[in-house]
Homo-oligomer: A and B are copies of this chain.
Amino acid sequence: MAEENNAPAAAAPAEPSKNALKKAQKEKEKAEKKAAAKARELAERQKKDAADAEDVSKEDYGELPLTGSKDFKPTGATRVELSTIPEHEGDEITFRCWVENARVQSAKLAFINLRQGLNTVQSVIAASDKISKQMVKFSGTLSTESLLVVTGLVKKAPEPINSATIKDFEIHIKKVFIEKKAEVPLPLQVEDAERPLPSEGLGEEEEKATEGDARPLVSLNTRLNNRTIDLRAKINHAIFVVKGGVRLLFTEFLSQKGFIPVETPKILGAASEGGANVFELNYFGKPAYLAQSPQFYKQMLIAARFQKVMEIGPVFRAENSNTARHLTEFTGLDLEMEFQEHYHEVIRVLEDLMLFIFQGLNTRYKKETDLVRSTYHVDDFKLPESGKVPRIPFPEGIKMLREAQGTGEDVGEIGEYDDLSTPQEKKLGRLVLEKYGSDFYVLDQFPLAVRPAYTMPSPENPKLSNSYDFFMRGQEICSGAQRIHDAELLSKMMREHDPPIDPNSAGTREYVDSFRYGAPPHGGGGFGLERIVQFWLGLPNIRMTSLFPRDPQRVTP
């Protein structure tokens, strides 16, 4: 059956038709082309083999497969930290690093600046009987920010290398592999991110070259839009190592003093503490609010007999302020403690805490501090030689400001029971620095009217209160007070406050009621972590101290 069906095809004409001739011709041409292609291929392969034979280094460079995604076996080779390079003179070491920049000097010589953490080192690769020209070219044309694994010899540099943080040693490359290639071009140059911001650096208008410097000044907005590249700058690493340091030092000091770390809720059923500047959210169809501070809750824990509590957590403020000093989300360093007889026991703990942090920053985080301050030409942070923190009663501060009236900047009217304006705070900071030699001080006994309703009035003057602010370089970093621990007095003060607060309103009632059952006298304070970092380092904009800052205009990245 099958044969029958195929019969017509088998019964082909004996003589070739025109079509058949054409076909044969075509096939011949095809075969010739194929043979030529094969010959070319062979020639190319021979050429490549020759080149490969020439490339004595072909096993020593190239691109690695994506780590972990393909069959992989760890080599187990020890990888070295760049910071330990001086210990490895004469050794062959292997390390992971990023390309800061690579340049071909000649067909036989290339340089790569390599970075790891806050350290950079220069590496050199020279063609030899063991290193091919191909490998030199590969090395000198590596794209900036690519991730490498480098093996090389640590040698004393013939002269100090100013472009690297490691100045006395260089790496003579033996092997260089790309672990992860960086795409070209980069949306932002990391070296541009290393340079200081102009003034407060908010606007695009500042994106221009400075006099006598052809390089562009990149605005803070551009940097923040490309934050994961921007954050690679050494100055940014240093800022966030310092920030982490403040956090660790805060925890270390207070946990040693017996403070228990706690977590209070960030989602609240009612907008307590006045209700202004609060973010509203949809909580399963009902309104809820983001906590503006842990104030009520940390006090409720003191009422619940937790004698000393601390909290590090986000704080949310729906304040539509677009300044260099405001964030809508920042990190609160809070503490609250019972005291025995006098709220100055609390001030003392807060002072000692900050002195401990400053000392820790000066010793454990000196390198990072110096790196940032030197970029911004910022003075050292002065602390009183006596070790005694200036603790200035508010009326005394007013007196100092009034006596200095007419000197320096005009700071406007100075009211006896008014809050200080920002220019007044800064001026007082300078006066305190002159008089006490300290960039850090405490202002005590603030006017009652300018403080929250839960602030204990002063026993010395009913228009003052047992409350205090802490300052660094003339700017407030902490606000605190003795709190009222009596439900009746607290209710009265809330009703009389401007604006008044209803002590029976949702969220507030539970807070007030917690003081009905034997609450101890207590006080505390709340520090802004970003502010401590900003003023310690002398940075022009608070956004620089937040990894992914949030302000009324910015919720990305």
Q: Which residues of A are interface residues toward B (Cβ below 8 A)? A: 66-72, 74-76, 79, 96, 98-99, 117, 145-147, 179-183, 186, 227-229, 231-232, 237, 240-241, 244, 247-248, 251, 255, 260-270, 279-284, 286, 288, 290, 297, 300-301, 303-307, 312-314, 316, 318, 320, 328-329, 331, 338, 340-343, 456-457, 459-460, 466, 482, 484-486, 489, 506-507, 510-511, 513-514, 516-521, 529, 546-548, 550, 552, 555-557
Contacts and interface: CB of A to CB of B under 8 A. Distances in A.
Copies in the complex: 2
A517 B145 contact: yes
* Nearest 3 A/B pairs, CB to CB: A269-B555, A74-B341, A281-B281
A263 B300 contact: no
Given A98-B305, A228-B303, A267-B550, 16 more contacts: A67-B341, A69-B486, A71-B460, A72-B342, A96-B520, A99-B518, A147-B520, A228-B304, A231-B306, A232-B305, A244-B262, A247-B261, A248-B261, A266-B316, A267-B329, A507-B556
A297 B75 CA distance: 30
Nearest to A482: B68
Nearest to A546: B263
A488 to B, nearest CB: 10
Given A72-B341, A521-B67, A521-B179, A314 B313 contact: yes
Nearest to A340: B79
Contacts of A283: 279, 318, 328, 555
* A237, A240, A318: most-surrounded residue (chain B CB, <10 A): A240
Contacts of A340: 74, 79, 96
B329 A265 contact: yes
Contacts of A485: 66-67, 180
Contact of A262 (B79, B518, B521, B547): B547
Contacts of A328: 267, 283
Contacts of A486: 66, 69, 180
B555 A268 contact: yes
B262 A180 contact: no
Given A72-B342, A268-B555, A557-B300, A147 B459 contact: no
Contacts of A232: 304-305
A68 B307 contact: no
Contacts of A459: 68-72
A99 B66 CA distance: 66
Contacts of A288: 555
A281 B507 CA distance: 20
29 contacts: A69-B484, A72-B342, A74-B341, A74-B342, A96-B520, A146-B518, A182-B516, A182-B518, A183-B516, A228-B300, A228-B513, A229-B517, A231-B306, A232-B304, A244-B260, A248-B255, A248-B261, A251-B251, A262-B547, A263-B546, A267-B316, A267-B329, A280-B281, A281-B290, A283-B328, A284-B318, A284-B320, A284-B552, A313-B313
A300 B266 CA distance: 25
Contacts of A489: 66, 69
